Amino acid sequence: MNGRQRARLAASGLAGLRFDVPMREHCTFRAGGPAASLIDVQSVEELRRLLAVLAEEEIKFLVIGRGSNLLVADSGYSGAVIRLKGEFNALVVQERGPDFTMIKVGAGCALGKLVSWCGGQGLAGLEFLVGIPGSVGGAVRMNAGAWGCETGARLAAIELVDKTGHIRQIAAAELRLSYRKLALADGELGSGMITAAWFHLAADQPEQIRSRCAAYLERRKGKQPAGAASAGSFFKNPPDDFAGRLIEAAGLKGASCGAAMISPVHANFLVNSGGATAADILALAERAQAEVFARFGIRLEPEVKIIRDEA
């Protein structure tokens, strides 16, 4: 971002604007370089105002949620990183029918808040999201899933804002949902920002919902490294297999590169054991890919989104 672009952004009057923000403070990996700017927007009106400046100044941008599936290169990101706050955290019941209830949730809402709100409302269907440290926007974008369930299965529609600030509602039938991916029926999401999502849920007793959540959390405790800085599973599971099984079978559990380590608890979790750089993590990921390919002929593909400026 050049000086003129910075000055123009600074003059935009957006309260949530910061420059040269270390992204390691905003990603669960606790690693990665700075974003030239990070803007927390509170409303659609602010988002549109920001997008107008970004378009006028030709500043590239990226929307993120809670940074739990991201790794920013050590060299950083030279554009604007946008986070949806304020009114994008809203949760409302939109329609209560005899067989289902439709809720609308802002994309900035934390999954933990959504799950506990649903429990309190007696609304079942999203319990599997408990323990995933992302936002609604990130979960929809990634079609996050666990225990055989995926976000897309409960999705009724999304609200999408394009780079010109144009808002449209898109029904789930017009989306292409696949393993850890959401696309539009006619192409990729590109720079489109999900600002809200509608989910159809079922009625159940709050105690039943809470007890399913507690059981999922318990299962997570046994299988995943508790408290370690990571982005969850680093690689997608290949068809009919598990990335963690393959990495473990390649003898890499506990292997490290700098301060990045393949978790001894779950081999698909790359963890930052303290002060790892993005380069450490990427080198370790490449090692895992190379050894799994050499032994099993399977090319592991990262699930984690790697953010870097194009060369």
Ligand X SMILES: Cc1cc2nc3c(=O)[nH]c(=O)nc-3n(C[C@H](O)[C@H](O)[C@H](O)COP(=O)(O)OP(=O)(O)OC[C@H]3O[C@@H](n4cnc5c(N)ncnc54)[C@H](O)[C@@H]3O)c2cc1C
Which positions are annotated as active-site residues? 180, 233, 303
**Closest to ligand X by CB, 109 or 292:** 109
Least Å from the CB of residue 91 to ligand X: 15
Q: Is 99 exposed, middle or buried (0-12, 13-18, 19+ CB in 10 A)?
A: exposed
Least Å from the CB of residue 11 to ligand X: 26
Least Å from the CB of residue 195 to ligand X: 7
**Closest to ligand X by CB, 278 or 291:** 278
Q: What x-and-dash track marks residues 64-93 binding ligand X by CB under 6 A?
A: xxxxxxx-------------x---------
Q: What x-and-dash track marks residues 281-310 binding ligand X by CB under 6 A?
A: ------------------------x-----
- Footprint on residues 190-229 left by ligand X (CB under 6 A): 193-194
Asked if 256 and 284 count as a contact pair (C-beta separation under 8 A), the reply is yes
- Residue count, binding to ligand X (CB under 6 A): 30
Following CA atoms 173, 179, 185, 189 in sequence, which dihedral angle do they give, to the nearest 10 degrees?
120
- Rule CB under 6 A: is residue 101 a binding residue for ligand X? no
- Rule CB under 6 A: is residue 144 a binding residue for ligand X? yes
- Footprint on residues 20-39 left by ligand X (CB under 6 A): 28
Least Å from the CB of residue 191 to ligand X: 9
Q: How many CB atoms lie within 10 A of CB 120?
A: 11
Least Å from the CB of residue 230 to ligand X: 5
**Closest to ligand X by CB, 245 or 305:** 305
Facing residues of 155 across strands? 199
Query: Which amino acid is it at 11?
Result: A
- Footprint on residues 145-174 left by ligand X (CB under 6 A): 145-146
Q: Which residues bind ligand X (CB under 6 A)?
A: 28, 62-70, 84, 107, 132-135, 137-139, 141-142, 144-146, 193-194, 230-232, 305
